[in-house]
Amino acid sequence: MPQIFRIGPYIIYFWSNEGHPLEPVHVHIANGRATANATKIWITRSGKALLCNNSSKIPEKTLRNLLRAIEANSAHIIEEWEEHFGEIKYFI
- pLDDT tens-digit readout, 28-71: 999 999 988 899 999 999 999 999 999 999 999 999 999 999 99
For residue 52, being part of any structural domain is answered with yes
What is the spatial distance between Cα 9 and Cα 23, in angstroms, rounded to a whole number?
A: 26
- Residue 16 domain boundaries: 3-85
Three-state secondary-structure class, residue 64: helix
Output the pLDDT for position 31.
95
* pTM, full prediction: 0.92
If one counts the domains in the chain, the total is 1
Arithmetic mean of pLDDT, 65-92? 94
Residue 62 φ then ψ, to 5°: -65, -40
DSSP code, position 24: P
Output the pLDDT for position 83.
93
For residue 58, being part of any structural domain is answered with yes
For residue 91, being part of any structural domain is answered with no
